Structure 1
């Protein structure tokens, strides 16, 4: 343990000196105000069009029901619309505005829409070359001359990456709340959010639905996002160990995440696709009761799939790292 702490500190400093986390923060400082402005315009348009939030929700339900009558809409989309209609009706019956504009709600929605692509890409920007970058720069030879076991070196890289994954998620949430709060206000922590929706075909089972304060919902959401992001981070370490080129390792993981995101929107008829890690990254959708990409998927199933992918990636990474010829 005494040998690991200096190694972890060294790896943490190496990531920091690459200044990629600064780039991540800069990206967030550019994109979040843009999305905040877009949300503000939507809120202003709705305020001009609807005097009461209930009328807005009723209009949403009416628009979706009209869409369901069209023969041009695929059945998968109709199923999603039916479920959304039932959920909106549930909020209406409970007299809770699901679209109440405030800093906390904006943060929750931003994180929910970022879990499958945006946050994974931020993670890859930081950690996709932890090992391959050492080879490209030639520092791997100096690293291996130290009297330290190889597995400790790789473990220190994993620990440092875990720290930056956590920091990325916390920073994203904090900047969302601070920036959006300037326009929408900083209240909303105790606003009730309904969770526990269960799907039975195209019907929503509301027997287990219960209200939780929005701050508690954010904590659950953040934990699920962290789990998804760590799966991507661990797989990026595996690719970085297997592929010697920095550029190739980054492109490989980015392509896998992007292709998986596209596949999750097109794989409803391909049941075996539910075992692909990228199809299971949208863990937060289970909190709000959205239909999964493939029928039959559940939160426990997705957590298990991501856990198995992570475990296998760790085993292969450490086995290859400790046995491969690094110097040639």
Structure 2
């Protein structure tokens, strides 16, 4: 098995795309840091909030202001005052806030690149006509397939590690060191002012991202065994990846009418919603339910993958 994994690992890195994907992550990190460094003006945040309170108070005291406008203005004033009370600069970028704000966002490219690698893993053998040479070796089919799956997971894990380590180093270089437990303002809290510890929050976000990431690349790997054409396998996988957010919104809007939609995959892929949003996706949604749904689909995808591959006609 180890020799098979080594062979598959060499196959991945024999392609220029494997290096391009990792290089793109590094360029994206540096580009993001330069953009933030150029545009971020964090020095006068207190003055801005104080000026906002004064200007909004003047509008609030204006007799022409409607009651509806007053309610919104009072909330805006309260938010500015809460920011001042915390003493935490909401625009301050440090190595750990950069990890929270940018590394977690760039992780979506890791998903895309991993999907491309996984969906081409088996289908490329059929497209290139090398599947027969692969299976005439003294290894059972399931071992060959498992080695491919493990190797694609290892490459995906490598990209995650590169992204995380490089992200921290880029943040360190551009924004300086910061304590792991330094406070930051929750970037997703618009009405309330919620303070978080930046380092633990980053790892929490990544931990909640991993299950959905694993499901997506497993689904892409399954599609790679279902289609002999590499182009079709990659195309369908990428389409599903980009369409998942739209399907998620559609399913969430209909789940009250059709309760069985609670068990459809797409609303459960991104578990970060449980820590980034105050309200659940739908009534009854819990982390336990989402993990259970993801586990069920994972078993289903793995079963289909190995059953289909073991019975697949390898004639070219």
Q: Tell me the TM-score normalised to structure 1 length.
A: 0.75
Residue correspondence of structure 1 range 214-229 to structure 2 within 5 A:
214-229=198-213
Aligned alpha-carbon RMSD (Å): 3.7
> Structure 2: how far apart are the matches of 1:154 and 1:300?
30
Q: Aligned pair 1:174/2:162, yes or no? A: no
CA contact (8 A) 1:280 1:306 kept: yes
> Structure 1: how far apart are the matches of 2:262 and 2:84?
33
CA contact (8 A) 2:208 2:271 kept: yes
Change in Cα spacing, 1:146 to 1:292, as seen in structure 2 (3 Å) is same
Q: Aligned pair 1:278/2:270, yes or no? A: no
Change in Cα spacing, 1:277 to 1:42, as seen in structure 2 (3 Å) is farther
> Which stretches in structure 2 are left out of the alignment for 5+ residues?
58-67
Q: Secondary structure at the match of 2:306?
A: helix
Residue correspondence of structure 1 range 229-244 to structure 2 within 5 A:
229-244=213-228
Change in Cα spacing, 1:99 to 1:51, as seen in structure 2 (3 Å) is closer
Q: Aligned pair 1:189/2:180, yes or no? A: yes
Change in Cα spacing, 1:274 to 1:23, as seen in structure 2 (3 Å) is farther
> Structure 2: how far apart are the matches of 1:184 and 1:249?
41
1:25 equivalent in structure 2: 22
Shift of 1:111: 3.8
Change in Cα spacing, 1:229 to 1:214, as seen in structure 2 (3 Å) is same
Partner of residue 128 from structure 1, selected from 114, 119, 122? 119
Q: Secondary structure at the match of 1:190?
A: coil
Shift of 1:144: 0.7
> Structure 2: how far apart are the matches of 1:87 and 1:285?
23
CA contact (8 A) 1:267 1:294 kept: no
CA contact (8 A) 1:268 1:295 kept: no
Aligned residues: 295
Shift of 1:57: 10
1:51 equivalent in structure 2: 46
Q: Aligned pair 1:303/2:312, yes or no? A: no
Task: Write out per-residue CA displacement over residues 269-295 of structure 1, whole angstroms, 9 at most, x where no aligned residue.
Answer: 221655443332322232344545445
Task: Write out per-residue CA displacement over residues 30-89 of structure 1, whole angstroms, 9 at most, x where no aligned residue.
Answer: 322332233234421x534x2369759989x99xxxxxx69xxxxxxx9xxx9xx99999
CA contact (8 A) 1:193 1:217 kept: no
Q: Tell me the TM-score normalised to structure 2 length.
A: 0.78
Q: Aligned pair 1:252/2:254, yes or no? A: no
Q: Aligned pair 1:143/2:137, yes or no? A: no
Bigger Cα Rg:
2
CA contact (8 A) 1:264 1:293 kept: no
Q: Secondary structure at the match of 1:283?
A: coil
